[in-house]
C-alpha cells in the first residue's frame, strides 16, 4: 500500500498537467468571421429593397448589389441569405449583431459618421450626388438656390449629412428626412410636383430616369463618392480582407464592368433625351398595344416584354411607319417576311405584332441546338435584324479566331467585320452592315430591362406610395415561366 508521502509527487504532477490542459484550452482562438461563415455555410447579407440594390422579378432575386454579392458567396462556396432593412439606420444597426448579417451591400457611401459604426471595403462604383428638380420649374444652379424649397431625402443617408452641413452656411435651407420612402418614391414625388427637390446618387438617377419623364438633374452637389460594402466595426479583418480581394478580382476580370453595363448601361445607349422619350412612350403608346404583345407572345412562347422591346426599337410603337428600304409597320416587317408569317396588312398593328412574334420564334427555332439561353435569345434577335445567313458567317469567323461561336459576347465582336472586305470576302453571304445587329441587340436589351423593371409589382408595405408606374418590388408568387437572364 502506498504511503501519503509517496502519493504527493504523483498528485502534484496531476495538478500541473490538469492546469496546463485548462490553460491551453483557454488559449484556443475563437473562429474569426470568415471562418464562421464557412463553417455555417451561409453568408448573411443585409441590403435595401430597390431597383439599384435588390428586388425580385419573375425569375427570382436580382439587382446590381444582389448579383455582385451572390458571386462573392459562390466564391466562398456558401449559401447567400438576404434580408432587407426598413431604412438605412436599421441597416447599419443590424450589421454584426449575433446571428445577424455580417455584411451590408446596399449602395453605401462612406462618411465620417458611418465610419463610427462600420468599416468599408474597397470601392466598386463611383457615384455623384445630384440635385433633382421638376422640368418646367426654375432650375437651381447652386446650393444657395435650395433655400425656400420643399426638399426630402432618405433618413440616415449621406445626402442628409450633406444638407446638414449646407444648412450651417445657408440657414434658410429646410429639408425632411423620411424612412418611409425609397429613392424611386423621391423621384416620383419630384416628378408629380409633391416636393420641389431631392438628392439622389447619379447611378440611381440613371437607372430610374426612364420611369419619370419630368425629372431633371439640376446640378452635382459635391464631388464624386465611392460605393462600398460594409462590415462590423472591430479588429477582425478576416471577412473584410476576403471582400477586398474579391472586389479587386472582379474589377480586373471584367465581371464588375459587365454588371455595370447590365444595370446602368441603358442610359449610355439611350442618352438623356432617349430615356425621357421612352418614359413618355411607356405611358402614352404602349398601353394601346400591350395586350396584343401579351397575346401573341404567349402563343409563340416568348416574353411579351422582349417582343414589345423589339417593337419599340423598330418603330417607337408606331403602326404606320415605313422605312426607306420598304419595311413597314409597328414591327417593321419586310414584304417577304410578312407573307411568310401570314400577315396581309403590315400597317395593322395587331397583324404586325403577330408577324413579329412568329418571326422571332422562327429565328430561335432555326438556331443550332448548341446555342443555349440566354445567348439563344440574343442570337435570335441578331438574326431578326441581319438575317440568319450573315449570323452564321459571323459564327464561323468567330470559331476561326478561336472564339466561342455559341456565345453572344464573342460573336458580337466579329459581326462588325462583315462590313470589311478582307473579312466578308471569306464568307458565304458576303457584305453586311454587321454593326447594326450589335446595336439592335444592345438597344433591345436595354428596353427589355426597363420594361421588366416597370412591370414588376409595387414594393410591399408602406415603403412605396402608389404612383402611375410600377417599380421593381418583392413578388411573392412563384415564377411560372423562365425568362433568359441578361
pLDDT band at 217 (very low <50, low <70, confident <90, very high): very high
**Are 32 and 236 within 8 A, CB to CB?**
yes
pLDDT confidence of residue 20: 52
* First CA to last CA distance, the chain: 85
**Are 204 and 52 within 8 A, CB to CB?**
yes
pLDDT, one tens digit per residue, over 432-443 is 788 889 889 988
What is the pLDDT averaged over residues 117-144?
94
So which residues are the catalytic ones? 314
Identify how many contiguous H helices and E strands the chain contains and give both numbers.
18, 12
**Are 379 and 388 within 8 A, CB to CB?**
no
Looking at the DSSP bridge assignments, the partners of residue 83 are 46
CA distances to 66, 310, 381 from 324, rounded to whole Å, are: 44, 19, 21
Highest mean predicted confidence (pLDDT) among 51-55, 238-242, 322-326, 428-432 = 238-242
Q: What is the reported pTM?
A: 0.59
pLDDT, one tens digit per residue, over 424-480 is 888 888 877 888 898 899 889 888 988 887 776 433 333 322 333 333 332 323 333
Closest CA to 154 of 48, 62, 264: 48
CA distance 328 to 169: 60
pLDDT confidence of residue 13: 57
Q: What are the cell numbers at 15?
A: 495538478
Question: Residue with C-alpha cell 438623356?
Answer: 272
Amino acid at each position: 500500500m502506498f504511503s501519503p508521502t509517496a502519493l504527493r509527487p504523483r498528485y502534484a504532477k496531476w495538478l500541473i498537467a490538469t492546469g496546463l490542459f485548462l490553460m491551453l484550452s483557454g488559449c484556443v482562438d475563437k473562429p474569426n468571421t470568415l471562418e464562421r461563415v464557412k463553417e455555417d455555410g451561409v453568408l448573411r447579407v443585409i441590403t435595401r429593397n430597390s431597383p439599384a440594390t435588390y428586388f425580385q422579378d419573375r425569375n427570382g432575386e436580382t439587382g446590381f448589389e444582389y448579383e455582385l454579392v451572390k458571386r462573392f458567396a459562390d466564391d466562398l462556396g456558401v449559401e447567400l441569405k438576404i434580408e432587407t432593412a426598413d431604412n438605412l439606420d436599421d441597416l447599419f444597426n443590424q450589421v454584426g449583431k449575433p446571428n445577424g448579417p455580417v455584411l451590408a451591400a446596399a449602395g453605401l457611401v462612406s462618411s465620417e459618421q458611418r465610419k463610427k459604426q462600420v468599416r468599408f471595403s474597397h470601392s466598386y462604383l463611383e457615384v455623384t450626388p445630384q440635385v433633382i428638380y421638376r422640368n418646367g420649374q426654375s432650375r437651381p444652379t447652386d446650393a444657395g438656390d435650395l433655400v425656400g424649397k420643399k426638399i426630402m431625402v432618405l433618413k440616415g443617408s449621406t445626402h442628409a449629412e450633406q444638407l446638414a452641413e449646407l444648412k450651417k452656411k445657408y440657414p434658410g435651407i429646410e429639408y425632411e428626412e423620411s424612412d418611409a420612402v425609397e429613392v424611386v418614391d423621391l423621384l416620383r414625388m419630384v416628378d408629380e410636383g409633391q416636393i420641389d427637390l431631392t438628392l439622389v446618387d447619379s447611378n440611381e438617377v440613371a437607372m430610374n430616369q426612364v420611369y419619370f419623364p419630368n425629372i431633371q438633374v439640376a446640378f452635382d452637389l459635391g464631388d464624386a463618392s465611392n460605393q462600398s460594402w460594409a462590415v462590423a466595426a472591430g479588429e477582425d479583418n478576416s471577412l473584410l480582407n476576403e471582400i477586398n480581394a474579391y472586389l479587386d478580382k472582379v474589377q480586373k476580370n471584367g465581371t464588375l464592368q459587365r454588371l455595370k453595363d447590365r444595370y446602368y448601361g441603358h442610359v449610355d445607349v439611350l442618352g438623356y433625351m432617349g430615356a425621357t422619350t421612352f418614359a413618355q412612350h411607356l405611358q402614352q403608346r404602349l398601353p394601346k398595344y400591350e395586350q396584343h404583345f401579351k397575346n401573341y407572345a404567349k402563343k409563340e412562347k416568348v416574353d411579351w416584354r422582349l417582343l414589345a422591346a423589339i417593337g419599340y426599337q423598330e418603330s417607337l410603337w408606331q403602326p404606320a411607319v415605313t422605312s426607306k428600304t420598304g419595311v413597314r409597320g409597328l414591327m417593321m416587317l419586310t414584304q417577304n417576311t410578312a407573307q411568310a408569317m401570314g400577315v396581309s396588312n403590315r400597317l395593322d398593328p395587331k397583324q404586325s405584332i403577330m408577324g413579329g412574334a412568329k418571326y422571332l420564334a422562327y429565328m430561335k427555332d432555326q438556331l443550332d441546338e448548341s446555342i443555349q439561353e440566354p445567348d439563344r435569345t440574343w442570337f435570335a434577335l441578331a438574326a431578326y435584324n441581319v438575317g440568319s445567313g450573315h449570323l452564321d458567317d459571323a459564327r464561323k469567323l468567330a470559331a476561326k479566331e478561336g472564339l466561342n461561336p455559341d456565345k453572344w459576347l464573342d460573336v458580337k465582336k466579329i459581326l462588325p467585320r462583315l462590313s470589311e472586305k478582307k473579312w466578308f470576302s471569306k464568307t458565304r453571304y458576303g457584305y453586311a452592315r454587321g454593326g447594326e445587329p450589335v446595336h439592335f441587340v444592345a438597344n433591345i436589351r436595354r428596353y427589355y430591362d426597363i420594361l421588366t423593371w416597370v412591370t414588376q409589382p409595387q414594393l410591399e408595405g408602406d415603403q412605396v406610395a402608389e404612383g402611375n408606374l410600377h417599380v421593381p418590388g418583392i413578388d411573392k408568387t412563384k415564377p411560372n415561366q423562365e425568362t433568359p437572364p441578361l
